[in-house]
Structure 1
Amino acid sequence: MKHKFLSKRYWNSITTPMVEVVDLAYKYQDIIKLSLGDHDWVTDKYVIDAAYKDACEGHTKYTDSLGDPQLREEIIKYYHDVYGYPLELSEVMAVVGACHGMYLVLEGILDDGDEVIVPEPFFTPYENQIQLARGKMVPLETYEKDGFQVDAEGLRNLITNRTKAIIINTPNNPTGACYSKETLKAIAKIAIEYDLIIIADDIYGAFSFGKAFLPMTTMEGMKERTITIGSFSKDYAMTGWRIGYLLAPKYMIECFRDINEGICFSAPSISQRAALYALKIRDKFQPQLIESYHKRIFYAYERICKIPKMSVLPPQGSFYLFVNIKETGLTSEEVSKRILEEAHVLVIPGNAFGKSGEGYIRLACTVDMNKLKEAFDRISAMEIFS
């Protein structure tokens, strides 16, 4: 929107389909939202009660600018216990969710015009985040026929003298793809060969339905060049708490901390206490959370396989399905609009995730089984899928 009081940088900004669905969610009273990746699960009651108790006892002040030391120690313990991976307190920073962490990372590592390679389809905000840090996003298309895995040769061909980093997101939003160990090794080899940074957006690690999740930073030779972005939003059903963390070499963490001093200084103290307790008792609630989404996503997969002109790869991870609707002959936005207007089900068109997302829609299985059944009953009755 052009206005004299707005920065000229934003005069030609375009609202993305991802943002538009927020308004569309209120269009019909009986709408079923398979759009944004926000849990229908409530944060575990013990976590809420423990954080409340801490707030009553005085945890309402600023924490250390790097985060509550107890939370950071618990994150270190988690990586040691689960992955056998060593970390120092100076290599961990609490942030206000993964998007805040990504901003600090990009601001801290990019010079004007530096390039960041991003596998496409990609999490919608990446492009704007890179531009905010005065960088340039270079998309690397991945394809359904390859299971949306990154092609090493294609990656290598995009590297220039200005390439600074590669963002990897596995399990992936929006495709649900989990990068194989072979894919991760190939990416790591290229990063080392060209002296690049890996930004690992590891926010769906708990939702890997096949092989166990493998953080890039734990691979040989990768700790010194990997920045890990973690979050409690998805793996712990804590989206509204807005709490995450960064793992990186000490000098990087110090830089991110200094940048953050002019933004918010520290993450919310109460949210940090909640995250601490979520980590401590994860084995008491996380398995049920994961099993619930496993049932939902495989149910949705089976329903999609029975709907004409729809197809989808078997689920691998996350709680998203990236559904191929090319046989309809319509664009992803046209299909999404018709599903909304005729079935009162809200989905996100694939073009919200980059050019190669055209011909797909993303479904988030973040409603219970009864609502999922109703959603697919409505969709399967639509004329375009008959």
Structure 2
Amino acid sequence: MKRNYIARRFQLGGTGLSLDTEALSKYKDIIDLSIGDTDFTTDEAIIAAAFRDAGLGHTHYGDPKGDPELISAVCRAWEEDFGQPLSGNHVLVSASSCLGMALTMLAILDPGDEVIVFSPYFAVYRSQIELAGGVCVDVPTYADENYAIDEARLRAAITPRTKAIIFNNPANPTGMSYDRDTLSMLARIAQEYDLLIAADEIYTTYLYEGDFCPIRTLPGMAERTITLNSFSKNYLMTGWRVGVIIAEPELLAVMNRINGALVYTAPSISQRAAIQALSMRRSIREKYISEYRDRIFYAADRIEKIPYLSLVRPKGTFYLFPGIEKTGLDEKQFCEALLERAHILVTPGTPFGVSGAGHFRIACTVGIEHLKIAFDRMEKLSF
């Protein structure tokens, strides 16, 4: 009985986002546009700072809540960037924002509690919700509506068991970013129904229109927002595994207890690297993130010239989410055809929720010279 229960609990399905080593080994000229891992190596100054601090003895267990210097740097950067004071007891350092979201779900959900996600969404959300005993409720957004969040659909999804809304901005996989009107609508609904917002804000520097506004900074939202930040994407530190949770101290206390049963603390060396990264945040945006902006705009321009594809132009991240309705294929068939006929590896839209059907995700994590080869190959195909 216990074994069957465990099997049911983990029948969550693969995310479809893992590295396809079989496909990569099949063709020598494959172009991999499937995984959201930045292709730049972490800046040398960040690596040097971590190396220096390792030599100074930062190789031991640290404070379970996070390196005090890093927490102070996070608070200082938040106030400088967003104008909202932040104290250290509102910050918990986690071993990645992915773990941070899992800690959030484990901390706030009782069995049967519902969490609303806006589909298409980062595929792991569903697994994290279900692992905590919760129920993932898809509220679809659609390409023909520019992936706008519809208030009526959102309200219709709320029940007495709704505990939280996960809000990803800018969004993976669609590349959308949401304006202040959308944030204000979500804030109004969260307060009306007494809901928490789990704000996944890990792509904030990959924003190509306007300035980023954290939903936590809206009136009345600080006490009901759990903000997930990460050094992985904004600072090109995916392998360092360090993120930040910003929330009310009572919530963080529960998360810290759960975290203690899992990993105890984020890697000490990674946290020292993160301190250096925060001090360089503006130069990193200028040096690296501008390159992704050029890639995403180039890729969008190329896709718009391919007759069998459709696209809502992205406003952030380094992802595109083209539609394939003109091909007559489903997303899995199309991705298989793209691999076999053009040696291009992408991700089918199915893992991203109910609105992912009929789409596939491109991660622009190769240089423009490789993107050009990929789109030249795509242009030669017909369906």
TM-score range, shorter chain: over 0.9
- 1:77 maps to what in 2? 76
- 1:27 maps to what in 2? 26
Partners of 2:39 and 2:5 in 1: CA distance: 37
**What is the one-letter code of the residue matched to 1:183?**
T
- 2:16 maps to what in 1? 17
Question: Is the contact between residue 12 and residue 127 of structure 2 (CA under 8 Å) also seen in structure 1?
Answer: no
Tell me the secondary structure at the aligned position of residue 14 of structure 1: coil
Question: Is the contact between residue 108 and residue 255 of structure 1 (CA under 8 Å) also seen in structure 2?
Answer: yes
Matches within 5 A, 1:238-317: 238-317=237-316
Give the total of aligned pairs. Answer: 382
TM-score normalised per structure 2: 0.97
Cα displacement (A) at 1:59: 0.3
- 1:162 maps to what in 2? 161
**What is the one-letter code of the residue matched to 1:35?**
S
Tell me the secondary structure at the aligned position of residue 171 of structure 1: coil
Partners of 1:239 and 1:290 in 2: CA distance: 15
Deviates more, 1:374-383 or 1:293-302: 374-383
Unpaired runs of 5+ residues, structure 2, are: none
Partners of 2:12 and 2:177 in 1: CA distance: 32
Say if 1:242 and 1:68 are closer, same or farther in 2 by CA, change over 3 A: same
- 1:134 maps to what in 2? 133
Partners of 1:235 and 1:20 in 2: CA distance: 21
Say if 1:251 and 1:16 are closer, same or farther in 2 by CA, change over 3 A: closer
**What is the one-letter code of the residue matched to 1:314?**
R
- 2:211 maps to what in 1? 212
Partners of 2:82 and 2:13 in 1: CA distance: 42
Question: Is the contact between residue 152 and residue 183 of structure 1 (CA under 8 Å) also seen in structure 2?
Answer: no
Partners of 2:147 and 2:319 in 1: CA distance: 14
Partners of 2:173 and 2:11 in 1: CA distance: 26
Deviates more, 1:119-128 or 1:25-34: 25-34
Question: Is the contact between residue 174 and residue 314 of structure 2 (CA under 8 Å) also seen in structure 1?
Answer: no
Cα displacement (A) at 1:15: 3.0
Matches within 5 A, 1:196-211: 196-211=195-210
Partners of 1:246 and 1:39 in 2: CA distance: 22
**What is the one-letter code of the residue matched to 2:13?**
I
Encode CA deviations 1:280-337: one digit per residue, 9 max, x unaligned: 1222222121110110000001110111111211220000001011100100111111
Partners of 1:16 and 1:42 in 2: CA distance: 26
- 2:372 maps to what in 1? 373
- 2:363 maps to what in 1? 364
**What is the one-letter code of the residue matched to 1:262?**
A
Check if 1:104 corresponds to 2:99: no
Say if 1:261 and 1:27 are closer, same or farther in 2 by CA, change over 3 A: same
Tell me the secondary structure at the aligned position of residue 45 of structure 2: helix
Cα displacement (A) at 1:26: 2.9
Deviates more, 1:102-111 or 1:6-15: 6-15
Say if 1:246 and 1:12 are closer, same or farther in 2 by CA, change over 3 A: closer
Tell me the secondary structure at the aligned position of residue 262 of structure 1: helix
- 1:63 maps to what in 2? 62
Tell me the secondary structure at the aligned position of residue 7 of structure 1: helix
Cα displacement (A) at 1:10: 5.5
Partners of 2:263 and 2:119 in 1: CA distance: 31
Matches within 5 A, 1:148-159: 148-159=147-158
Tell me the secondary structure at the aligned position of residue 200 of structure 1: strand
Question: Is the contact between residue 110 and residue 133 of structure 2 (CA under 8 Å) also seen in structure 1?
Answer: yes
What value does the CA root-mean-square deviation take over the aligned residues?
1.5
Partners of 1:286 and 1:271 in 2: CA distance: 20
Encode CA deviations 1:134-157: one digit per residue, 9 max, x unaligned: 000000000112211211111111
Encode CA deviations 1:4-49: one digit per residue, 9 max, x unaligned: 7993336745334323635433332211111110011110000001
Tell me the secondary structure at the aligned position of residue 324 of structure 1: coil
- 2:325 maps to what in 1? 326
Partners of 1:21 and 1:181 in 2: CA distance: 38
Partners of 2:358 and 2:236 in 1: CA distance: 30
Encode CA deviations 1:35-83: one digit per residue, 9 max, x unaligned: 1100111100000011011001100011101000000100001110010
Tell me the secondary structure at the aligned position of residue 157 of structure 1: helix
